[in-house]
């Protein structure tokens, strides 16, 4: 009997061309489908909640897939992990309702961007954070980030077409020399988070004020915002689902089909 499954996926995106299968090059989706096919003996198509781009990481990616297998979730997860490369792992593999879809059932996603703000870089963390040696005014950056909350057209930060999204939380925290920017929204435009972070760095360096950051947001003009921050600092940390996780037509279906394409 064919069943619908879901799993949590974590990966270091450094050496991949993104989550989604490409015409050439290694992708996270491609590796997952290869491993699942070897375990089950037939082709398996995987859907991801967020189609992260090259160099972007995930600790809370969610996938769904259909397959006919006598294996339970524990055995299936163990078999898949044995065949995956060391920079990808699945967990919480379980059967779900027939209508559940990793992307279409999602009601929101959360991303984190890490900045190492110190004179010396942290070599062991170099693949998962951006090193900024100059002093940053994180207070001003925090005030600017608050302007993102609410429903806006985020075209000023998008790599492609703009569109309205609702940001539920946007904040910056400091742990010693590490700055963490976290943003939660019902959907993301392609390149949106990295565009936001690049412009927040302008605020932190004193190039623009928090007020000017708000004006850039409202302008919907990408040419007014800062350059996109490097992909390596970005991580998909969580995907939110509602009470009816099996609803394949949940709030957020109008999202950019690439999700947060970084």
CA-based nearest residue to 159, from 51, 251, 253:
51
CA-based nearest residue to 54, from 116, 12, 117:
12
- Catalytic residue annotation: 53
Q: CA of 99: how far to CAs of 17, 48, 66, 86, 186, in Å?
A: 29, 15, 11, 31, 20
Q: CA of 146: how far to CAs of 13, 45, 108, in Å?
A: 29, 39, 18
H helices of 183-242, in order, are: 192-204, 210-219
Phi, psi torsion values for 2, nearest 5 degrees = -80, 130
| Helix (H) or strand (E) segment spanning residue 30 | helix 28-40
């Amino acid at each position: 009997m064919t069943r619908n499954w879901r799993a949590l996926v974590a990966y270091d995106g450094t050496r991949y061309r993104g989550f989604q299968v490409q015409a050439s090059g290694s992708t996270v989706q491609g590796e997952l489908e290869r491993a699942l096919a070897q375990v089950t003996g037939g082709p398996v198509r995987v859907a991801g909640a967020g189609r992260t781009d090259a160099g972007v990481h995930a600790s809370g990616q969610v996938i769904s897939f259909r397959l006919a297998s006598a294996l339970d979730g524990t055995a299936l997860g163990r078999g898949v992990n044995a065949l995956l490369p060391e920079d990808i792992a699945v967990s919480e593999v379980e059967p779900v309702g027939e209508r559940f879809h990793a992307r279409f059932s999602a009601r929101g996603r959360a991303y984190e961007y890490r900045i190492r703000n110190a004179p010396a870089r942290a070599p062991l963390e170099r693949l998962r954070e951006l090193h900024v040696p100059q002093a940053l005014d994180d207070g001003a950056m925090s005030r600017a980030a608050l302007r993102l909350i609410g429903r806006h057209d985020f075209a000023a930060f998008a790599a492609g077409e703009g569109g309205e999204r609702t940001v539920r939380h946007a904040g910056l925290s400091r742990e010693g020399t590490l700055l963490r920017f976290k943003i939660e929204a019902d959907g993301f435009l392609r390149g949106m988070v990295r565009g936001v972070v690049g412009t927040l760095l302008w605020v932190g360096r004193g190039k623009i004020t928090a007020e000017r950051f708000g004006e850039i947001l409202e302008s919907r003009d990408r040419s007014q915002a800062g350059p996109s921050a490097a992909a390596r600092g970005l991580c998909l940390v969580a995907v939110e689902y509602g009470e009816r996780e099996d609803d394949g037509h949940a709030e957020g279906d109008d999202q950019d089909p690439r999700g947060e394409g970084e």
